[in-house]
Chain A
């Protein structure tokens, strides 16, 4: 009897380890809050020049029909290495809940290039915002911000693809500051 119990427990442990975790998509409410941190950017130029350091913060909060994401990035790039030039970029976008619980469509406004599309989706514990555009000459660009909730806060992976070439990636770690 004791052996059977041990065998069952072993099978249970094995199943728990072997079966892939079927993680449900988080509710958007789980992402509400303010996060701040920093990361490094890598671009085509990074093989020849130093990678750039970026401070970034994001605030995600509810709206009547979805959510708002506002993020700011501070870039330190160029100039005197001991005192690099500082640039600040801020973007705010509103998203409307779609029929599918994990999908949101951006409202027209800042952050979306003319004729472009933007949407967001939740996959597991990752909220990804996509910004897609085609310029006047037919070249496309896709920017994606994948924000994954972690125990300590949030991991951010930003990616920019231009006409099939990944031209920039940024990886950052953020800490939750407040809800």
Chain B
């Protein structure tokens, strides 16, 4: 009877804690990744594809992490435009008891700052950044970075919402190089 209860308890615990047990540890994301992605713009109901070269670095910082990403947007051939470079770095502190990471200094989006947070679900690291523009419309940028089982590939899905509308989505694959 005791054995049966012990076995039942083990099965019950495994079942009830299964969701969080599947989340991979933060350190799995530490490293440098490089790759390319395709951007799709919903604006004006037309599709505008643009290639981007991406570089992402995830490094430990205290009990949290720092993530830096660079996006080089290639010009449309023949347009005469130059490469557009976007760069961003956010540092997150140790997570709360539910695994949510927040920056040390959270910005106030209504005062021109960024409100950011991150979490890991299964093999995906989500980073969200909320801003409010001068006209009061919000913009929410979501980065979902999913590691392959061997940890060497990272799939990126970036989505930008502006005032309830999805205005941009970028998807691509990056390879670990460090």
Contact = CB atoms under 8 A, between A and B. Distances in A.
Nearest to A140: B128
A140 B117 CA distance: 10
Nearest to A144: B164
Interface residues of B, number: 25
Interface in A89-123: 98, 100, 102-103, 105, 117, 119-123
Nearest to A122: B136
B100 interface: yes
B110 interface: yes
A142 interface: yes
B96 A161 contact: no
A138 to B, nearest CB: 4
A161 B142 CA distance: 13
B138 A142 contact: yes
Interface of A is mostly: strand
Contacts of B164: 142, 144, 159, 161, 166
Nearest to B159: A164
A102 B135 contact: yes
Interface of A: 98, 100, 102-103, 105, 117, 119-123, 128, 130, 132, 134, 136-138, 140, 142, 144, 159, 161, 164, 166
- State the 3 A-B residue pairs at the shortest beta-carbon distance, nearest first: A121-B136, A138-B119, A138-B100
Interface of B: 96, 98-100, 109-110, 115, 117-119, 126, 128, 130, 132, 134-138, 140, 142, 159, 161, 163-164
Given A100-B134, A121-B135, 12 more contacts: A98-B110, A100-B136, A117-B110, A120-B136, A123-B137, A136-B96, A136-B100, A140-B128, A140-B130, A140-B140, A142-B138, A164-B159
